[in-house]
Structure 1
Amino acid sequence: MRTLVARLDSDGDVLLAGPAVRAAAAAGEVVLLCGPSGVQAAELLPGVTRIVEWECPWVVHPAPDVRPFDVEAVTALVRGVRADVALILTSFHQSPLPLALLLRLAGVPKIVARSVDYAGSLLDVRLRDDPDVPEAERALEVARAAGFDAADGRLAIVEPPAFELTGTELSHPYVVVHPGATAPARTWSPDRWAKAVVALTAAGHRVVVTGGPAEAGLTEHVAGACGTDLGGRTSFRELAGVLAGAEAVVVGNTGPAHLAAAVGTPVVSLFAPVVPAVRWAPHGRHVLLGDQNAPCRGTRARDCPVPGHPCLDLVDPADVVAAVAEVTS
């Protein structure tokens, strides 16, 4: 049995597809079709035999043009996979049907997905509901509908490496602060993060600040004189090792929140309600901070639509200190 699992967006989304991937892997090979921003997470998922990368123009942001050559190329790639079944995993605001059409043209004999829209002959098994459940559970239900035994819903990755950096020894205990996010609306403002690092340090915590290469300026500002700045100094796999060694991770609604959950580290999430927490809150032990009934609720905004970003910027750094104490007690 060879299963094609498609999850075409970012690292966090791909991590949440992990339980469905493992369910399919128990029955044979799994080929994961993902976008460029999900490859790092795909490489960490247990059960993935092969990764096929494709930038899907109706999923990624900003969206590239839909070009016939690209569509023909991915159709040929999928045809070469020779999958017996395909699971299309989407979020509640995405349609699986454009990809289902390409998979059908590529000759995939059985396609399973969740769609509230009529699918005609594009789907062989269609889940018609759209329940308010965690995103990983929504994906797992697609695997169950395909006939896979999907009892294990925990997040997991392959064993991350212990992170070592010349001149920086990550000794225990420490708390990770990860201030960045792809969508600015889904994280705290930089000055609030910097004040939280000061507050955590004053409470006796060693603070390590993490971020990608493009976030080095942000992490330097947030770390200030108190924190250890690892911005741009870790790969995604190495970041998993840093998170695995932490007492707790303080983060917005972004991929590293799910990466922390996958390595079993408790999370304090600065969670803006632009997407529903019931679907996107971190798995495992966590505390959510932020006004979940703010005016931005349910907007899916990338940039805060309310002046002052009140859903998160009204959170006091002292609240973060208290939440860290709660999840580590």
Structure 2
Amino acid sequence: MGMRVLVARLDNAGDVLLSGPCVRAVAAGAESVTMLAGPRGRAAAELLPGVDDVIEWCAPWIDPEPPPVTAEYTKTLRDRVTGFDAALVVTSFHQSPLPLALILRECGVPWIGAISDDYPGSLLDLRHRVHGDPPEAERALALAEAAGFALPPGDDGRLAVRGPLPDVSEVAGDPGYVVVHPAASVPAREWPAAQCAEAVRMLTGDGYRVVVTGGPADKELTARVAGEYALDLAGRTDLSQLAAVLSGASVLVAPNTGPAHLAAAVGTPVVSLFAPVVPAARWAPYGVPVVLLGDQEAPCRDTRARRCPVPGHPCLAGVTPDEVRQAVEKLGGAA
């Protein structure tokens, strides 16, 4: 009998998608892979090739709206994590894997690996170190490789989602449109709405068919951005349907947000309006053609700020709608 392996990635959908190559490497050498994901990442975990099952649990040390830490709450995870032979805890550079490793040890997981700068004591069997500033997908894959798992022959290590994707032609129309996704999980990463709306107007004026996407909470923003020029799909797609919409796009225009990584996972080029609050070297869309816009040397660089700490939001406010139009053309958007 092969190994039953738990792979944990407890934050947002984009983070989970970036762990996809790591998951596929584990799946190539294990009997089964269960993904431990947070509520903001569960839908993405269900899209990953190689995942056999998903356990959802909200980590109090990671989620931005954390539940209280109580014995009763941690027991809700302990009761579900049983029978695993090994676990890999996938984190970003600023996150510690040790709180989860402690709980997994209490659950009886006999072997645990993670990337950790902190001394883990007996919490980890594999304490992996990653040097330099690799993309997040490569960083996670390095952990799997250090644990003895490798991508199967023919796997290029790019992001991917499970197919087949749903038919969204009745919602989005025939493929070949440009998708504009204006929202991000935090305001510091968003391009100003007025400039985004002007870019949509200019793109449609050039003959592009534009589709604006967003979640139910983004409807006011997407309505402003779409105006009378673009199709507004805010709140009308789940994550698999959004993946299908993005797979039919010639280009995505988006900030640093989960749909940018979802576009990469379906092979769609991205115009990335990237605020440098986190490093683009780690977090830019991975494995697809990208035009990166935004001042990467702005004062907000590497602050991980949720709201822009600089008056006027200069890192992205300085990007003009015409620059976005030119980037769409460069990436092959067919008007």
Q: TM-score range by the shorter chain?
A: over 0.9
Partner SS for 2:91: coil
Return the alpha-carbon distance in structure 1 between the equivalents of residues 211 and 129 of structure 2.
44
In structure 1, the partner of 2:269 is: 266
Structure 2 distance, partners of 1:296, 1:99, is 30
Ranges in structure 2 where 5+ consecutive residues have no aligned partner: none
TM-score, normalised to structure 2's length?
A: 0.95
Say which SS state the counterpart of residue 36 (structure 2) adopts.
strand
| Cross-structure match for 1:85 | 86
Measure the CA separation in 1 of the matches of 2:169 and 2:267: 20
Report the 3-state secondary structure (helix = DSSP H, G, I; strand = E; otherwise coil) of the residue aligned with 1:234. coil
C-alpha RMSD over aligned residues: 1.2
How far apart are residue 71 of structure 1 and its match? 0.8
**Which residue is 1:162 aligned to?**
167
- In structure 2, the residue corresponding to 1:328 is in which secondary structure? coil
- What residue number does 1:23 align with? 25
Correspondence for 1:315 = 319
Say if 2:45 is the partner of 1:5. no
**Aligned counterparts of 1:67 and 1:130: Cα–Cα separation in 2:** 36
Where in structure 2 are the equivalents of 1:32-47 lying within 5 Å? 32-47=35-50
Counterparts of 1:289 and 1:153 in 2: how far apart (Å)? Answer: 25
Q: Secondary structure at the match of 2:47?
A: coil
Distance (Å, rounded) in 2 between the aligned partners of 1:196 and 1:150: 40
- Percent identical among aligned pairs is 59
Once the two structures are TM-superposed, the CA of residue 68 in structure 1 deviates from its matched residue by 1.4
Structure 2: distance between partners of 1:129 and 1:174:
39
Write the letter of the residue equivalent to 2:10: L
The separation in 2 between residues aligned to 1:306 and 1:130, in whole angstroms, is 31
Mapped partners of 1:185, 1:280: distance in 2 = 15
Question: Separation in 2 of the partners of 1:130 and 1:184?
Answer: 30
1:59 and 1:309 map into 2 onto residues whose CA distance is 26
Distance 1:194 1:261, change over 3 A: same
Partner Cα distance (2:309, 2:206) in 1: 34
Measure how far apart 1:173 and its partner are: 2.4
Q: 3-state DSSP class of the match of 1:303?
A: coil
Separation (CA, whole Å) in 1 of partners of 2:172 and 2:23: 35
Specify the alignment match of 1:63 in structure 2: 66
CA contact (8 A) 1:116 1:129 kept: no
Give a deviation string over 1:124-175, Cα, whole Å, max 9, x none. 011133530000111001101111013642100012222134xx55124210
Q: Deviations over 1:167-207 (max 9, x none)?
A: x5512421000001111111201111111101111222111
* Equivalence for 2:53: 50
- Is the contact made by 1:175 and 1:206 (CA closer than 8 Å) also made in structure 2? yes
CA distance in 2, matches of 1:226, 1:77: 49
1:135-154 residue pairs with structure 2 within 5 A?
135-150=136-151, 152-154=156-158
Query: Does the 8 Å contact 1:116/1:130 carry over to 2?
Result: no
1:197-235: per-residue Cα shift (whole Å, max 9, x none)?
A: 011112221110000111111111100011111111111
Residue 36 of structure 1: SS of its match in structure 2?
coil
Give the gaps of 5 or more residues in structure 1: none
Deviation at 1:323, TM superposition (A): 0.5
- The structure 1 segments of at least 4 consecutive aligned residues displaced by more than 2 Å after TM superposition are 128-131
Equivalent position amino acid for 1:90 in 2: T
Code of the residue aligned with 2:142 in structure 1: it is: E
Q: Aligned letter for 2:14?
A: G
> TM-score, normalized by length of structure 1?
0.96
